[in-house]
Amino acid sequence: MSERGDETDPVVADLSTLVFEVTGRLRAQFNAAAAELDLPPAQALVLTKLTPPAPMRQLAEWLSCEPSNVTGIVDGLERRGLVIRAPAPGDRRVKHVVLTGAGQEKLAELHARTHAFTKTFFAMPATDQHILRDLLARILDGPPVHPAPADPDRHR
């Protein structure tokens, strides 16, 4: 290995490739389930993050987008009667997005459809499922990975 430690570890490279492929397949199935329920993927994603209700800013951070984009997504959910905006407890200036009864039903349908796929997708012995779950949880419990700072000379 070089002094800089920048040689590629083939196992880590394989892990990265496999995790991205698994994620891509899960995302594609999620998007298909959302489409079956007449939901754009972004609206479906927001529905999954509203238990408990969440402020618009938190949704924007989670979606990695500008708050103005979340406004459009929430407007669409609101027009469908799936969410309402409500003042946050303790600070009426902050608006929380809250699932309505219809939103809770739509979310339950989305979970049922995606669960049916994931049950098939992760069809393996229960002990393997537990091991995979525990390993993934261990990775997620580790230190957060932050992107490298931008190189100021990169665009010169």
For the segment 63-76, what is each residue's pLDDT rounded down to a tens digit? 999 988 999 999 99
Give the per-residue pLDDT at 4: 55
How far apart (Å, rounded) are the C-alpha atoms in residues 108 and 124?
A: 25
Order of strands across the sheet that contains 83-88: 54-55, 91-99, 83-88
Is the model's pLDDT at 152 over the cut of 60? no
Q: What range defines the domain where residue 23 resides?
A: 12-139
For 103-120, write each residue's pLDDT tens digit: 999 999 999 999 999 999
Residue 155 lies in a domain: no
- Report yes or no: 111 and 104 within 8 Å, Cβ to Cβ: no
* 149 pLDDT tier (thresholds 50, 70, 90): low
Residue 148 lies in a domain: no
Residue 151 to residues 5, 64, 145, 147, 154, Cα–Cα distance (Å):
19, 21, 18, 12, 5
Residue 153 lies in a domain: no
Residue 7 lies in a domain: no
For the chain, how many structural domains are there in total?
A: 1
Is the model's pLDDT at 126 over the cut of 90? yes
Specify the CATH number for the domain of residue 59: 1.10.10.10
Is the model's pLDDT at 155 over the cut of 90? no
Residue 80 lies in a domain: yes
Residue 156 lies in a domain: no
Residue 94 lies in a domain: yes
Give the per-residue pLDDT at 142: 86
Residue 149 lies in a domain: no
